[in-house]
């Protein structure tokens, strides 16, 4: 039973760190601000969830520390909601500042009627 728990939590931890590495590479290599925000935030929340699940198994079974398990659930719960929220705020701020998301062919992917620059900051 104990080795099964170790094996399962080990697999979860490795999967979580794999997702984080993918997110890190995506954050460096992607061409545009919005693609980088997408890469970083999606894998961040996913990888963190996997790592916290792995830690939760360890905290419950091998360390038998219920207080640590509660704290891990709290951190995971908090990061599950604030990760996407921060990324949304970031993307909105970038959009308001007038950074136009471009498609494959370099043209703006949003139609002209939005007239981004005017809705941005007054001095932008």
Binding site for other proteins (CB under 8 A): 6, 9-10, 13-14, 16-18, 20-21, 23-25, 27-28, 33, 36-37, 40-41, 44, 47-48, 51-52, 55, 58-59, 63, 65, 67-68, 71-72, 74-75, 78-79, 82-83, 85-87, 89-90, 93-94, 96-97, 99, 119, 121-123
| Joined tokens for residue 86 | 């921060």
Least distance in Å: CB of 109 to other proteins? 17
CB of 114 to other proteins, least distance (A): 13
Which conformational region is residue 40 in: left (phi greater than 0), alpha (psi within -120 to 50 degrees), or beta? alpha
Q: At closest approach, how far in Å is the CB of 4 from other proteins?
A: 14
- Smallest gap from Cβ 1 to other proteins, in A, equals 17
Q: Could you give the CA distance from residue 31 to residue 20 in angstroms, rounded to a whole number?
A: 19
Residue nearer to other proteins on the CB measure, 20 or 111: 20
Closest by CA position to 70, among listed 62, 60, 61, 80: 60
CB 116 within 8 A of CB 100: yes
SS3 letters for 10-32?
Answer: HHHHHHHHHHHHHHHHHHHHCCC
Tell me whether residue 112 or residue 123 sits nearer to other proteins (CB atom): 123
């Amino acid at each position: 039973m104990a080795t099964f728990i170790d094996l399962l939590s080990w697999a979860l931890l490795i999967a979580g760190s794999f997702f984080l590495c993918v997110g890190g590479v995506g954050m460096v290599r992607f061409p545009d601000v919005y693609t980088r925000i997408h890469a970083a935030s999606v894998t961040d929340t996913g990888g963190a969830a996997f790592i916290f699940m792995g830690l939760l198994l360890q905290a419950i079974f091998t360390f038998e520390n219920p207080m640590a398990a509660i704290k891990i659930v709290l951190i995971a719960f908090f990061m599950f909601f604030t990760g996407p929220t921060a990324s949304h705020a970031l993307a909105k701020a970038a959009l308001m500042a007038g950074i136009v998301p471009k498609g494959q062919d370099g043209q703006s992917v949003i139609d002209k009627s939005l007239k981004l620059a005017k809705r941005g900051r007054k001095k932008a």
